[in-house]
């Protein structure tokens, strides 16, 4: 996608495209619902066109928003929820901090130690990129293992990671500690009630996926979920300079990311 002309060759105005993408990713609407809503506004936009817009711009929205996210704290809640793809249940790994801010997410066809390890590595990487400037120097380490590039990645170390009784999490944490990714001081807690925060946070995913009645491929599911998650972060006030509930600020922010006048 061209940084200068992200809407080049599109048959609709950029603000209409962003409006449809934002609404689909933010509210529990189907593509046909949005087609009808646009028709009420005097615009005929086929639901398949809106689908293509979401697939194209949702990952780009996630990518462009990442650098603007606020810092996380070092108390993590990790859990996975179920997402149906082609009538098969797959797993969306998610993590939030103790304040409810979303740290990271990962869609996986498996629910095992390998998938959990992959998720933790992804979460550590992203946490580092958004909080490196806000953490004291002693809280930053460089991992000396093959799982990550020690020359390119600095990690924000969680103080505590709370998970459910899934046996894959202790195995993943043990592997990361043995590899030097995590220090031995990181505490793993398997206390069910402490994960109520993230289990409640899963609800927005269920609410948004219900109108579409599942996904038809792993790729389309992942592209859409990236948009769902980043819009939820924006809704929760995780973007710098935009408070929770500031709908006007959210609209202006998304438009600014794509060089559009709101």
**Cα gap 4→19, rounded to integer Å:** 20
- pTM here is 0.85
Residue 207 confidence (pLDDT) above 80: yes
Domain coordinates of the chain in residue numbers?
14-68+217-257, 75-201
pLDDT per residue over 145-201, tens digit each? Answer: 333 343 334 457 899 999 999 999 999 999 999 988 899 999 999 987 888 889 999
Name the percent of the chain in helix, strand, coil, to the closest 5: 50, 15, 35
pLDDT per residue over 45-99, tens digit each? Answer: 999 999 999 999 999 999 999 999 998 899 999 999 999 998 899 999 999 999 9
Output the pLDDT for position 85: 93
Task: Give yes or no for a contact between 76 and 97, defined as CB atoms under 8 angstroms apart.
Answer: yes
Domain formed by 75-201, architecture = 2-Layer Sandwich (3.30)
Output b/e per residue, 34-66; b: 16+ Cβ within 10 A. bbeebeeeeeebebebbbebbbbbbbbbbebbe
Taking the mean position of all CA atoms in its chain, how far away is CA 238? Answer: 12
Nearest to 5 by CA among 60, 54, 67: 60
Residue 15 confidence (pLDDT) above 60: yes
């Amino acid at each position: 996608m061209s940084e200068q002309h992200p809407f080049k060759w599109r048959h609709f105005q950029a603000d209409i495209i962003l409006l449809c993408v934002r609404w689909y990713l933010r509210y529990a609407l189907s593509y046909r619902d949005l087609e009808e809503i646009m028709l009420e506004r005097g615009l005929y936009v086929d639901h398949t066109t809106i689908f293509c817009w979401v697939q194209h711009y949702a990952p780009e929205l996630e990518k462009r928003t990442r650098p603007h996210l606020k810092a996380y704290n070092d108390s993590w809640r990790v859990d996975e929820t179920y997402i149906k793809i082609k009538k098969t249940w797959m797993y969306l790994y998610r993590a939030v901090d103790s304040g409810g801010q979303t740290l990271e997410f990962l869609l996986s066809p498996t629910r095992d130690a390998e998938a959990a390890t992959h998720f933790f590595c992804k979460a550590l990487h992203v946490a580092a990129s958004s909080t490196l400037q806000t953490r004291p120097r002693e809280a930053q380490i460089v991992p000396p293992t093959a799982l990550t590039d020690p020359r390119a990645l600095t990690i924000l170390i969680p103080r505590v990671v709370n998970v459910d009784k899934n046996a894959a999490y202790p195995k993943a944490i043990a592997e990361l500690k043995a590899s030097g990714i995590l220090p031995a001081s990181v505490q793993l807690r398997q206390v069910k009630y402490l994960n109520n925060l993230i289990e409640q946070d899963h609800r927005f995913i269920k609410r948004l996926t219900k109108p579409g009645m599942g996904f038809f491929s792993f790729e389309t599911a992942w592209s859409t979920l990236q948009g769902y998650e980043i819009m939820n972060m924006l809704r929760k006030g995780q973007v710098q300079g935009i408070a929770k509930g500031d709908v006007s600020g959210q609209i202006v922010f998304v438009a600014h990311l794509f060089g559009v006048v709101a």
